[in-house]
Amino acid sequence: MRIAEILRRKGSDVATVTPETTVRSLLDTLAVKNIGAVVVSPDGVTIVGIVSERDVVRSLHQHGAALLDIPVSAIMTADVRTCAPDDRVDGLRNTMTEHRIRHLPVVEDGRMIGIVSIGDVVKSAISELATERQHLVEYLQGRY
């Protein structure tokens, strides 16, 4: 399965914040949207970073309560791994596992067109296994 298929199923909406957004506002966005990470983008299509709940928790130790009022650009991951719509999900699964990444923006022609999470990847794997199982059952029952 290709990443484009995941985006067709889930949509292409991506939660973003600007680099100047405060961590307090970021936490509100994460809570309201019930998500674990947002892409940091000045314009909604260019990626300058990604910031997750994990980044907030790790920074809390260093900054304490003052963390809430600093910009997300101070805690974001600036070296963002991305994927393309034509990439295969199994390759993405390996990348996410090896690099301990839970969210990957999808980029085409230099523009962000979506995001996939580890949950999306797991869902697609379960779907593929269910389809394969169904085909095997039908084959064994002589319906093929």
Which domains, from first to last, does the chain contain? 3-140 (3.10.580.10)
Q: Which tens digit of pLDDT belongs to each residue from 100-134?
A: 999 999 999 999 999 999 988 888 777 777 677 78
Residue 16 scores a pLDDT above 80 = yes
- Average pLDDT over all residues of the chain: 91
Q: Which tens digit of pLDDT belongs to each residue from 22-45?
A: 999 999 999 999 999 999 999 988
φ, ψ dihedrals at 116, nearest 5°: -120, 145
Closest CA to 26 of 50, 2, 7: 50
pLDDT at residue 141, rounded to an integer: 82
SS3 67: helix
Q: Residues 128, 1: contact at Cβ < 8 Å?
A: yes
Q: Residues 33, 15: contact at Cβ < 8 Å?
A: yes
DSSP structure class, residue 74: G
Helix, strand, coil percentages, rounded to 5, for the chain: 50, 20, 30
What is the rounded CA–CA span in Å between residue 71 and residue 25? 9
- Report how far Cα 57 is from the mean position of its chain's Cα atoms: 18
